[in-house]
Structures are given as structure tokens and as C-alpha cells.
Amino acid sequence: MTTPLPITSFADPVPAQRLERAAAALTAHGFAVEILDDAAAARARVRELIPAGAGVFTGASETLRLSGIDADINDGERYRAVKPLVLAIDRATGADEIRRLLASPDVVVGSVAAVTETGSLVAASGSGSQLPAYAGGAGRAIWVVGAQKVVPDLETALRRVDEHCLPRESARTQEVHGWPSAVNRVLVLTAEPRPGRATVLLLREAIGF
């Protein structure tokens, strides 16, 4: 019987060999994978990967916020950013339009709660707003993932969601919005059947939750 990883390990970047193991497994499952040094490299690479004028939706992500990628997409004029469009629509009368915009952008950019060394991505969400695009609704998907999110297997990934990510995200939403977060929906991506659709940028440093 294996000893569970201590909770504190969920915040520490894994060594290079484990990052490479996860990258190899993801590649075998149809994801395009790049290992980059840091958030600055990911920020530059995201700009290279997304053509100007594309409709881009950014999933809620501390990784995107801290790296500057969220601001690059939503505050600039290079792309047709979906999030500002959605925020301008009346929730009562425009619910269907909001749903369509979020579900099928040209490109979705985000992060995930965990990457397994067996080649799966695990995303957790309170609202689920980003999950349709992640699962296949977006024409292209790009995930930026810190090295602390690599775990051995799916069981450990789900532990990471509950024991590490949720408390931190809940503290953030309590401070920003006045209410705690919840894990209401979990998406597990085990393979990408559409060649060239999904890119995972694995960083050698820790960033985000």
C-alpha cells in the first residue's frame, strides 16, 4: 500500500523527470505538449499560438492572472476577447447568448487543477462555465500548468482538488465575492481525439493553485 503524498507536496514543483513523464504520457494521448521554463515563456508562447483576431475565452485561473496572460487577452485589442463581451450582456435576457459564447470560442485558454503522470488532465469548477469549451466546444484549447500540479495518478489528482485547490480558491472567492467556492463539477480529459486541437504548456516552476 502506497503512502499518500503529504498535502504540502501539492504546492511544490515536481522534479524534471516527473514533468517529462507527464509530458510523454500526455503526448501519447494526443495532446501537444511543451515544457517551458517559466510563466514569462508561457506568456510569449500563448501569444504565438493564438492568431490575431481569434475569439478567445479565458477560464478563471490564478495561473493566467499571475502570468499576465489573462490581461493580455482580455484587456488588449489583439483578440476578440469573450469575457468582456459576456460581462456586457444582461444575465436575465441574454443567458442563451452567454452560454453559446462560453461553450464554443475559437480558442479557450486556461489551466487545470492537476496533470497525471499517466496522461490525464483534471479540471474542477464551481459554475462549470469553462468546461464545455475545455471538453471539445472550443476549436483550440491551451492549458498553462505549473510544475506543482503534476501528480502520479487520478486518485491523487482528485485529492489535490479537494485538499489543496478548493481551500485556496474558496479563500479567494470569499475575499473577492463574499462567498466560498465549491467543487460542483469535475472534468477529466484522458485523451485528445482531434489532432492539433489541444496544447499543454507545462512549466518547470510553480504558479497558481
In order of their start, the domains of the chain are 7-203 (3.40.50.10420)
Q: What DSSP assignment string belongs to 107-175?
A: EEEE--SEEETTS-EEEEESS-TTHHIIIIISSEEEEEE-GGGEESSHHHHHHHIIIIIHHHHHHHHHH
The C-alpha cell at 114 is: 492537476
Separation CA 11–CA 40 (nearest Å): 20
Residue 196 has pLDDT above 80, yes or no: yes
Length of the chain as a residue count = 209
Residue 3 has pLDDT above 90, yes or no: no
pTM of the model: 0.94
- The confidence score (pLDDT) of residue 53 equals 98
Q: Using alpha carbons, select from 156, 152, 134, 137 the residue that is nearest to residue 200.
A: 134
Residue range 149-190, pLDDT digits in tens: 999 999 999 999 999 999 999 999 999 889 999 999 999 999
Residue range 17-62, pLDDT digits in tens: 999 999 999 999 999 999 999 999 999 999 999 999 999 999 999 9
**Count of Cβ atoms closer than 10 Å to residue 7 Cβ:** 12
Q: Residues 82-117, buried b or exposed e (16+ Cβ, 10 A)?
A: bbeebeeeeeeeeeeebeebbbbbbbbbbbbbbbbb
Q: Using alpha carbons, select from 130, 99, 105, 96 the residue that is nearest to residue 53.
A: 105
Residue range 57-111, pLDDT digits in tens: 999 999 999 999 999 999 999 999 999 999 999 988 999 999 999 999 999 999 9
